[in-house]
Structure 1
Amino acid sequence: MHVHDHLGRPLTSARMSVNGTRLHYRVGGQGDPVVLLHGAPKTSYHWRDVVPCLTPHHTVITPDLRGLGDSEPAAAGFDTVTLAEDIAELMSGLGFDSYRVVGEDWGAAVAYQLAARHPDQVRQLVYQEAFLAGFGWEEMTHLDAERVAAGAWIYHIGFFFKPDIPEMLITGRERPFIDHWMSQEAHHVDALSSDFLDEYVRCYTMPGRLRAMLSIYRASLEDAELNRAAARTPLPMPVLAVGGRYAMGGDPARQMREVATDVREVLLDSGHHPAQETPRETAEAYLGFFTGDR
């Protein structure tokens, strides 16, 4: 499906060989570059309604992460350092040596490593609706009455770690699984329109895509070690921590304050998917941060 800029023109869709894989990405707009990184179970199409708010001011790049969406299937390399290096090479290949990065969910974890490893390139970081492995991620899998009552027990992390069983149970049932997963994490469920679901299902039913997504989860214990090592040097660039008021709330900001020196915070009237639930307000938060208003 196409993603359009503010004038209704489709973004350019292309592929680039980077870091031993081949990424699909879209690019459009004008101005200083900003790269938007999606999470799970999503693709770069997740940013559809945010993109036209940004393209009057920025060149916007929306890649599909390694092995996901319309990027080529991949058998390995799903830790966040490798995923971050994919994006660093993509941006370099596009001719950008300085840019802003926005990440949501797993894309935020990748964005953190990108900023930590390339502080001379990443001007600003937006870290949205994510728990950083090594800084509270693991505790969210603990089963206890308080967490279950608060809706803070993330059951699927443990499920996804079991080799082959999730693939066996989800394959052929991608639509109801993705629909339920995203709906139960949303506040504005009506904003999760069928065209988004159609695109996610199209992609996650292609060979290798479901296993690639699960492999990102399965690398999270490795990520925890990588994140703790990266945090020994606090991020020097400004960070905007974005939380959905009905999802992670202030947790992204609390986590970023453990690993960065200049953290601002915004809470949006959404659940876990601000870019789909409240896209205009989400884009306004980004633009305010980029111009120094937040």
Structure 2
Amino acid sequence: METSRRLPDLTMNYRDSGGDGPLVVLLHGWPQTSYCWRLVEPLLAEHFRVVAPDLRGYGLSDKPVTGYDKARMAQDIRELVTVLGYDTVRLVGHDRGARVAHRFALDYPEALTHLSLLDICPTLHTFRSGTPETARGYWHWLFHMKPDLPELLVGANVDAYLRYFFEHWAVQRAAVEEAIPHYVAAFSRPGALRAGFDDYRATIPDLELDSADFEAGRQIMIPTQLLWGEGGLVGGTDVLAAWRPFAPRASGQELAGCGHFLPEEQPLVLAELLLAYLLTETARS
């Protein structure tokens, strides 16, 4: 079921399994929407109520002109959890959604029992590493941060621009091909391109807050699951080493034969690994 709820700052659209059990919230990345979880949701819904929102600015959620820093976006998710009637949540984030989930873990630790982060390294680590591999892998991040220019150039052919990433970031390309028209339509809506780029334009305030937290020794203290694709954006990186200063109880593994888009390229494997973690006792204990 797809529906919307009014939160204090915006109306958020989300997919809802309507199942019983503890709440699992799935956060998508760019250039996607909650639709990316369609193959994983029913597998998790056998044990949980599964909710997959369109993040602020994405899909059918509102696209305000402010609020794309990860602290505000994490607050959106905290408010959604409350509106849904839950005190705690199991949180799974992919790509940009994983960055929102990272911030949620720091700002709302009392509300979080389990955290799974897919195919990312911490934002602060990524910008501090400064290697040639970082430049090759994340050129789009700096481009998206430019004011006005990305909208001007991408708006002329949204399909070609998004398709570039799906073809270059995926190993199982056929697995994501059928969904591309959905994502193109989503980013062709009024304000959608600008909102997606605003997510990246919030990088400077995000880095400032991340740096302050890091210097203050604030970490994710619950056991954290890290999963990444063999051919994904962090494939070939020592992902666990990158996360340990930020989440000392992190563990995880690489998915073979998989690129960046884990929920669509390897949904069965991903769901099995998520369930093995999400069904454990409250990770805070």
TM-score using structure 2 length:
0.91
The AA in structure 1 aligned to 2:189 is M
Moved more, 155-164 or 111-120: 155-164
**C-alpha separation in 1, matches of 2:274 and 2:231:** 19
Q: Is 1:106 the counterpart of 2:96 in the alignment?
A: yes
State how far apart, in whole Å, the 1-side matches of 2:136 and 2:273 are: 25
What corresponds to 2:164 in structure 1?
180
Structure 2 residues without counterparts, runs of 5 or longer:
none
| Paired AA for residue 185 in structure 2 | R
Tell whether 2:7 aligns with 1:18. Answer: yes
Aligned residue type for 2:140: H
Q: 1:251, CA displacement in angstroms? A: 4.4
- Asked whether 1:45 is paired with 2:32, we answer no
Find 2:115's aligned residue among 125, 129, 132. Answer: 125
Counterpart position of 1:4: none
Q: Decide whether the 8 Å contact of 1:73 with 1:208 is kept in 2.
A: yes
Helix, strand or coil for the counterpart of 1:96? Answer: coil
Helix, strand or coil: the match of 2:99?
A: helix
Runs of 4+ deviating beyond 6 Å: none
Secondary structure of 2:15's aligned partner: strand
Structure 1 residue 134: Cα displacement: 1.5
1:169 maps to 2:131 = no
3-state SS, counterpart of residue 105 of structure 2: helix
Q: Distance in 2 between matches of 1:35 and 1:219?
A: 23
Structure 1: distance between partners of 2:280 and 2:161: 40
Offset at residue 110 of structure 1 (A): 0.2
Counterparts in 2 of 1:110 and 1:200: CA distance versus 1, 3 Å: same
Structure 1: gaps (5+ residues): 1-11
Q: Could you give the per-residue CA deviations for residues 201-248 of structure 1, whole angstroms, max 9, x where no partner exists?
A: 111000001100101111112111212233422212110011111121
Question: What aligned pairs does 1:1-294 form with structure 2 within 5 A after superposition?
Answer: 12-28=1-17, 29-137=19-127, 139=129, 144=132, 147=133, 152-194=136-178, 196-231=179-214, 232-247=217-232, 248-249=234-235, 250-269=237-256, 270-292=258-280
Q: 1:15-51: per-residue Cα shift (whole Å, max 9, x none)? A: 1222411111111122111000000000000111111
> Aligned-pair distance for 1:260?
1.6
Q: Deviation string for 1:146-195 (max 9, x for gaps)?
A: x38xx94322112112211110111131111111112101111111122x
Contact 2:121 2:243 in 1 (8 A): no
CA distance in 2, matches of 1:84, 1:214: 17
What amino acid does structure 2 have at the position aligned with 1:223?
A: D
How big is the shift at 1:99? 1.2
Q: Distance in 2 between matches of 1:172 and 1:84?
A: 32
2:243, 2:250 within 8 Å by CA — same for their partners in 1?
yes
Structure 1 residue 138: deviation in Å?
5.5
Distance in 2, matches of 1:152 and 1:124, equals 32
Q: In structure 2, the residue corresponding to 1:286 is in which secondary structure?
A: helix
Secondary structure at the aligned position of 1:134 is classed as helix
Letter matched to residue 219 of structure 2: P
CA RMSD in angstroms comes to 1.9
Q: Deviations over 1:77-135 (max 9, x none)?
A: 00111000000000011001111000010000000111111111110110111132212
TM-score (norm 1): 0.89
Partner SS state of residue 67, structure 2 = coil
Contact 1:22–1:71 (Cα < 8 Å) also in 2: yes
**Paired AA for residue 273 in structure 2:** A
Identity of aligned residues (%): 32
Per-residue CA distance 1:53-91 (angstroms, 9 max, x = gap)? 111011001000001100012111001110000000000
1:242, 1:268 within 8 Å by CA — same for their partners in 2?
yes
Matched pairs, number: 276
Q: 1:292, CA displacement in angstroms?
A: 3.5
Please, which moves more after superposition, 259-268 or 279-288? 259-268
